[in-house]
Structure 1
Amino acid sequence: MSKEQPLSRMPELDALRGISALMVVAYHYLYRYIELYSTEAEAISLMSLGKYGVQLFFCISGFVIYWSVQNSKMGMDFIVARVARLYPAYICAIVFTYTMITFFGLEGREHDFITLIKNIVIFHNFLGISSIDGVYWTLSYEVVFYMWVFIICTIFGKEHVLLLLSASYLLITGGNFFIDTPILKSISEKVFLYKYIPFFIIGILSFKAWEFKHIRNTDTLLAFMVILISTYINANDIYIYILCIGVFYLLVNGKLGFLNVKPLTYLGMISYSLYLIHQNFGYIILGRLESIGVNIYLGAFIAFSLSVLVSTIFYYAVEGPTKNFLLNSYRKKINRSEPYTIKKSETI
């Protein structure tokens, strides 16, 4: 990957996103579903590692969102782009999932219509509102991350995003150490993203290393302090930190070209829609297949294939067209002539 290569055409990012999606799907279908519902199979312990695909998603998000900030001419550009990216597919996904569960049933995951309406607030789980689909919890963290990036860029300037995110994390860490209260921990997690901000920082730091070929010493020092402290505090997850750092080191040094294969880049392209719809939809399919004696591995393959099919429809019918429409409408309103077309490497 050369420096001259446009970031919007980084197939390695799509491939990484595709791998992240595969990890999460494997976790849900071959571990979590078996743990919750299956009476015929045992959960595959190795597949439990698939849950860490979320952390890899957060790293990718940090990388690409900082790129988006660099290319935003004004704060409203960033806000409109994020809303257009997240909300149309999300709204369709919650309606789709709610409808599927209502018609076909899924024990313990049924919700009333009022809960469906409340899920429109994308950070609803921070307010104690249950999700139509459990995977939506990550979107709350994404939205809060976007909020902090916007605030920092507006008040202090885009060049200070990494510095201030790292410094605030270190301050919160100290606060949690000296004032160990449930309220502070809740605020730290939901407002300051205490558990996950280090992964966003890995992405931002990697982008700066790739795009600018230099990082100021203060930024570098604080960012690595965040990662090291997080690794120490969350000792059980040390391997995911090492994995993410290693993957992004290879990315910024152009060593992941071998991932540029159609299946992975395609999954990366539809990964947001796939992430939104695969869990409960897949559980319904797995349950029906298991009830007629289908092997769990074959069932998982069928559920995955159908989820990819539905996600493809979502991408081409909802995610891409609505984002293009909203952004082109916005550009027209502020008198910008260049049309917008969806970029494959944009992330949630």
Structure 2
Amino acid sequence: MKRLELLDYGRFGAGLAVVAYHYFFNGISNGKVTSITHIPELIAFAKYGFLGVEFFFMISGFVIFFSSRNRTAGEFLTSRAVRLFPAFWVAVLFTSAFAQFWGGQKMSVSLPQMLVNLTMLPKPLGLPFVDGVYWTLQYEWSFYFAVFMALATGLQSKLRLMFLLWPLYILVMRLIGAENFPYAAGYYCYFAAGALFAMRMEEKTPASLGALILCVGLCASFSAGKAAGLTVNKGVEFSAAIIGAIVVCQFLFFVFLTSRAGLALRLPGARLAGGITYPLYLIHAHFGYMLLSQFADDDNRVAAYFLIAVAVLAIAHAIHIFVERRPARFWSALFGRSFGALGDAFQDRASALLRHAHGVAVGRAR
């Protein structure tokens, strides 16, 4: 897939929205930032920044549709590990180090907690995240697992059908009150929506359009449905109408992105903006909270916000360049020999079992 520079801008914009949500609103409301109060003029905008996460999921669905093409299960798994683990490992160590000095009661990190977090699976192993923002990575890996299983079992050609039917499955599960079923949670509809936009870049069909329209309704209703709970939990009113409108705008962004004009856009600094977004997301929250609590007060908070934002952007840039880009070949080789080998071995075993099952079925039919 040709690099879409507007997509990089969209990714970076979503990252900034999440940073604004945490710094200007959520960190203070949840008690992790203790030295400053809210800036009232900013709350009205910053409180909706959590929707940047939903946008990330849509981007992920869009990108994964293309990155899963013409790849073995092992190659796909390798690409995902290269994308997620290096920056994540550095972020876990980085945040844990600062938490030893400034973490306090709410952001402290134990050695076992840090080590288990390096697996990206602390919750199933009974330990909390080093940083609360890591919860989204469990959804990412869950999505990757579904695609991996399709590749490993020879169903790559059925991925289009999977993405077409996924919104319908989510709707049915919602109607019967079974949203806890695997892959039925509302966040998954954003992954499906992104993949459907990618599909429509190649072929526009009535079925994909219908599925995408269903996704708009499902995503908007899911996210807007959180308004009442957020209002109670955060003590600030959240508008379901505004949330729904923002979700619709996210879909409109993809409509333009996949248009001829959007595909042709050339934007300065796009690759760098897109590249630093993931490290920025990983390090900004608890590290930023600790800096705010240590050095900010209501008199200097504007300057503190500016300096901390510059600091986290600079650190994210350093992680992107020195951890992700320059050692890229090393990471590809490392994960190819581990994740890739395991993925391909699983695919070979699955193929053998399927061939055996097919042979048994044919024999019985005779």
Normalised-by-shorter TM-score class = 0.7 to 0.9
Distance in 1 between residues matched to 2:265 and 2:166, nearest whole Å: 37
User: Letter of the aligned partner of 1:285 in structure 2?
Assistant: L
Residue 60 of structure 2 aligns with which residue? 61
Residues 252 and 168 from structure 1, CA distance in 2 versus in 1: closer, same or farther, beyond 3 angstroms? closer
Amino acid at match of 2:60: S
TM-score (norm 1): 0.81
Structure index of larger Rg: 2
- In the other structure, the counterpart of 1:198 is 189
Offset, 1:170: 2.7
For residues 199-278 of structure 1, the aligned pairs below 5 Å read: 199-210=190-201, 212=202, 214-235=203-224, 236=240, 237-256=243-262, 260-262=267-269, 265-278=271-284
Q: 1:132 aligns with which of 130, 136, 140?
A: 130
Q: Specify the alignment match of 2:345 in structure 1.
A: none
Q: Distance in 2 between matches of 1:313 and 1:172?
A: 40
Identity %: 25
CA deviations over 1:158-182 (Å, ceiling 9, x no partner):
343242144244335424433x4xx
What SS class does the counterpart of residue 131 from structure 1 fall into?
coil
Please tell me the residue identity of whatever aligns with 1:27.
Answer: Y
1:96 and 1:218 mapped to 2: Cα distance? 46
Asked if 1:98 is matched to 2:96, the reply is yes
Aligned to 2:287: 281
Structure-2 separation of matches of 1:132 and 1:204: 30
Amino acid at match of 2:161: L
Name the Cα RMSD after superposition: 2.7
Indicate the larger mover: 253-262 or 241-250: 253-262
| Pair 1:307-2:327 in alignment | no
Instruction: Give the drift of 1:48.
Output: 0.8
The code of the aligned residue for 1:50 comes to G
Deviates more, 1:312-321 or 1:250-259: 250-259
1:148: Cα distance to partner?
Answer: 0.7
Q: Provide the C-alpha distance between the structure 1 equivalents of 2:101 and 2:222, rounded to a whole number of angstroms.
A: 44
The aligned residue for residue 4 of structure 2 is 10
Residue 284 of structure 1 deviates from its aligned partner by 1.4
Structure 2: 5+ residue stretches without partners = 225-239, 341-366
Q: Which of 31, 37, 40 is the matching residue for 1:41?
A: 37
Question: Residues 232 and 308 from structure 1, CA distance in 2 versus in 1: closer, same or farther, beyond 3 angstroms?
Answer: closer
Mark the runs of 5 or more structure 1 residues left unpaired by the alignment: 1-5, 335-348
Q: Which moved more, 1:16-25 or 1:159-168?
A: 159-168
- 2:152 is the counterpart of 1:154: yes
TM-aligned CA deviation for residue 73 of structure 1: 3.0
Aligned counterpart, 1:338: none
Contact 2:96 2:109 in 1 (8 A): yes
Matched, 1:22 2:11: no
After the TM superposition, which of the residue ranges 28-37 and 246-255 deviates more from structure 2?
Answer: 28-37
Report Cα offsets for 1:191-248 as digits up to 9, x if no partner: 41512111112211111222x1x23433433343243244345543422330121000
For the 8 Å contact 1:169–1:194, the answer to whether it is kept is: no
